[in-house]
Every structure is written in C-alpha cells, then in structure tokens.
Amino acid sequence: MACAHITQCPYCIDGHTQRARKIGATDEEVAEAIFVAIAIGAGGVLAHSTVAMRSAAVPH
C-alpha cells in the first residue's frame, strides 16, 4: 500500500487496500502504510532539494 501511495495510482491504492482489509488489516495498519509513504515521499523531496539548491548556486 505504501508503494501504491508513492506512485499515486488510485487503482493500485484501491486494490491493495481492499486486499489488505480482506486479510485483516486494521485502520491503524492502513494509516501506518500511508505514513510510511509520506515519510518516503518527503525524504525524496529533501534529497532532491540539494540538487535544486546546487543548481541555483551555479551561474548558467
């Protein structure tokens, strides 16, 4: 589910969430997967921000 949220595919999110619910995933477990995706997504933004800042510092 976390990967589906990272790719922002509504069909994958729906399918993986339904499958997780069928095997007993709780609201808390669904939320945790979403929080993992948030953390991963924000980490990627932070890491890539260094590229933007380095690029902005170099005259073109």
Query: pLDDT tens digits, residue range 3-30?
Result: 899 888 899 999 999 999 999 999 999 9
Percent of the residues in the chain that have a pLDDT greater than 70, as a whole number: 95
Across the chain, what does the average pLDDT equal? 87
pLDDT reading at 59 higher than 80: no
Q: How many CB atoms lie under 10 A from the CB of residue 28?
A: 7
Residue 60 has pLDDT above 60, yes or no: no
Give the number of domains in the chain: 1
Given a cut of 80, whether residue 57 has pLDDT beyond it is: no
Structure tokens given for 41: 């997504």
Determine the Cα–Cα distance for residues 2 and 58; give it in Å rounded to an integer: 36
Residues of the domain holding 6: 2-57
Per-residue pLDDT, 54: 81
Taking the C-alpha atoms of residue 37 and residue 24, their distance in angstroms, rounded to an integer, is 20
